[in-house]
Amino acid sequence: MLKHHVLFDEMTIARRVEQLAQAIASDLPSPAPNMIGLLTGSFVFLADLVRALARLGVEPQVDFMAVSHYGLATESGGVVQIRKDISLDLTARPVLLVDDILDSGRTLSLVRDRLVARGPSWLRTCVFLDKPSRRVVPVSADYIGFEVPDVWITGYGLDAGGEGRALPYIAAVEREREG
């Protein structure tokens, strides 16, 4: 396992997910939205968010898109690839797009634009983590779990070169020092 230090523990994450669910539920125009998660990193956050929304009387339909631009690397190549598209009809439906981390902005911008083209009645974005220092595309999320510094993050669904996805907390990977 990579050396890392915890940024947000399990209890802090659980409290924030509940707060996000409350904010989202109060804004939703319908108690039955479509929620679109971006794989692979968002699956843990999306699962917790769906359960938190259910406790508030919201019953979403869930689908996933697989989007990639990192592979096993830790730096984005800049090209976003859609590897799996959704099957839900979004026409005239409320949609919440959920991602693990808003970094460069390329992924969220591209996917949001693709979903807008499908004619939803309402579209909002929710990211678990926001790293504004890395933004190259001017985009922001409607709901944000936590802002993080410019470090490589692992845990709670996010991985670092394939490691750490199952950690129940968010951690910053410690870079090896040369020399």
Examine the residue annotation and report whether 150 is marked as an active-site residue of this protein.
no
The Cβ of residue 82 has, within 10 Å, a number of other Cβ atoms equal to: 15
- 99: helix, strand or coil: strand
Contacts of 84 (CB under 8 A, 6+ apart): 39, 64, 65, 66
- First and final C-alpha spacing in the chain: 22
- Identify which of 25, 74, 21 has the alpha carbon closest to the alpha carbon of residue 51: 21
- From the candidates 48, 99, 103, 159, give the one annotated as an active-site residue: 103
Give me the active site residues, please: 103
